[in-house]
Amino acid sequence: MAISEFTARAEHLYDEWLKDADPRVDGWFLMSSPLPQTVVLLAYLYFVTSLGPRLMENRKAFDLKPVLVVYNFSSVTLSIYMVYEFIMAGWGTGYTFRCDPVDYHSPQGLRMVRACWLYYFSKFFELLDTIFFVLRKKNNQISFLHVFHHSIMPFTWWFGVKFAGGGLGTFHGLLNCIVHVIMYTYYGLSALGPSYQRFLWWKKHLTSLQLIQFVMVTGHIVQYFFVKDCGYQFPIFVYIIATYGITFLLLFLNFWYHAYTKGKRLPKVLQKKDKVPDSNGNGVHHDKDD
């Protein structure tokens, strides 16, 4: 097959695929095609896994305490606003928490797809988490779980906003925003300095909350397979979200085991009482904003 013929066929398939896209998002920032976000995410992956650590290797770590305080509490504010929008757009004003379809026609449905786009865009803002790790030379925090989570979420949510901005598939967005309110509050307090460490004893419970989130996401989405005549229009997203929920549940369980069962990530308030020795006999601690 000639290259020109292959290109023409690919363009035809792409055009046919886009016929099912939501026309309401035409012209919205980053929504024209998946190419812009793909470039951003590839640049992010290259920076945090290769270029950034090499640039910082022989440099002193940046002191970003003031920046982190502003960033984390800004994330709290944004997450609270998104929770409000998800609730007002459907989850508190008509959704049944069962097999809710996407509403493509009403003003309420438009409000929901706007909330979905804002949630999608917030995932690019959260890429700063990893960039701050690099600049502060906290390379031990740049785990597979962290990078995978931060890169896969915006990539998959582009398709959600483009085709199915509402209904059953947005429940995990609402839950994730609720968790982020609590999570970024924790990180904001941590960034304020040692005098606030006594308020951070609940870090283990934050991980528990994240595990509960993934159990709820999976339990909610799989009801699609048990509800007769479910009206949700895009079954493909059911499989994507179910896979996402199960995958991250397993990854976070693995994190829990190594962080808390093996004691590698205890909060500082607990470490003062009982530091966990590393292989060299030194007390170890790995915290996002220490």
284 pLDDT more than 60? no
Beta strands in 6-148 (DSSP E): none
pLDDT at 263: 64
Q: Report the alpha-carbon distance of residue 93 to residue 8 in Å, rounded.
A: 45
Q: Report the alpha-carbon distance of residue 235 to residue 100 in Å, rounded.
A: 12
| Active-site residue (options: 149, 172, 180, 220) | 149
Q: Is 253 left (phi over 0), alpha (psi -120 to 50) or beta?
A: alpha
Could you read off the pLDDT of 72-114 as tens digits, one per residue? 999 999 999 999 999 999 999 999 999 999 999 999 999 999 9
Q: Which residues are bridge partners to 87 per DSSP?
A: none
Q: Give percent of the chain above pLDDT 70.
A: 88
pTM score, whole prediction: 0.86
Cβ(268)–Cβ(197) under 8 Å? Answer: yes
pLDDT at 280: 29
The full set of domain ranges for the chain reads: 23-261
pLDDT grade, residue 12 (50/70/90)? Answer: low
Cβ(102)–Cβ(234) under 8 Å? Answer: yes
Q: Report the alpha-carbon distance of residue 139 to residue 131 in Å, rounded.
A: 10
To the query of whether residue 286 is one of the catalytic residues in this protein, the response is no
pLDDT at 259: 77
pLDDT at 29: 97
DSSP of 64-83: -HHHHHHHHHHHHHHHHHHH
pLDDT at 270: 42
pLDDT grade, residue 264 (50/70/90)? Answer: low
Q: Report the alpha-carbon distance of residue 257 to residue 152 in Å, rounded.
A: 23
Spatial CA neighbour of 230 closest among 168, 275, 176, 152: 168
pLDDT at 261: 78
pLDDT at 77: 98
- Cβ burial 173-201 (10 Å sphere, 16+ → b, else e): bbbbbbbbbebbbbbbbbbbeeeebeebe
Q: Report the alpha-carbon distance of residue 22 to residue 233 in Å, rounded.
A: 12
The residue count of the chain comes to 290
Q: Report the alpha-carbon distance of residue 154 to residue 22 in Å, rounded.
A: 18
Choice between 146 and 272, residue whose per-residue pLDDT is larger: 146
Cβ(171)–Cβ(119) under 8 Å? Answer: no
Q: Report the alpha-carbon distance of residue 8 to residue 90 in Å, rounded.
A: 41
pLDDT grade, residue 289 (50/70/90)? Answer: very low
Cβ(64)–Cβ(128) under 8 Å? Answer: no
Kindly state the average pLDDT of the residues 111-136: 98
pLDDT grade, residue 3 (50/70/90)? Answer: confident
Radius of gyration of the chain (CA): 21
Kindly state the average pLDDT of the residues 264-271: 48
Residues ≥6 apart with Cβ < 8 Å to 215 = 245, 249
Tokens for 167, please give them. 């209904």
Kindly state the average pLDDT of the residues 234-249: 94
pLDDT grade, residue 228 (50/70/90)? Answer: confident
2 pLDDT more than 80? no
